[in-house]
Structure 1
Amino acid sequence: MFVSGGLTPEKISLLSEAGADSFGVGSYISGAPAIDMTMDIKEVNGKPVAKRGRIPGLVENKKLKRIL
């Protein structure tokens, strides 16, 4: 299980005991200001997909630029 977000060494110890085996610690080891955002997979091979609680499929956003 991968966990991330606001992790400290103390939280990592607790989460490790609870079964987590991978940790995202970017904000703990970086001096850069945090940018709070999420990135969701919305489509795979043309098929709309989403995790629970999200709406599947691509949504147009004029602020984004496709770079493939």
Structure 2
Amino acid sequence: MKVGVILCCMIAVAWVVLALVQLWFVPLDAAVFIKISITAGLLFVIVLVLSLVLREYLTDKKLKDSGHLDG
């Protein structure tokens, strides 16, 4: 989970920096900026969902191995 949180934070911070640079200096075409923004948003969601699913799986596995859950 820690890796997922770190990656999500890095994606968010990178996008915020890019957005501020785009706001003040306009180095990218609007279409390219929108594509990068959509890609960053999708990566953020994918990393977040995968890290939550992995955490849930590992928690269930640990509980099953210790005998607290049946299955």
User: TM-score with structure 2 length normalisation?
Assistant: 0.27
User: TM-score with structure 1 length normalisation?
Assistant: 0.28
> Taking CA–CA contacts closer than 8 Å with sequence separation of 6 or more, which of the two structures ends up with the larger relative contact order?
2
Structure (1 or 2) with the larger CA radius of gyration = 2
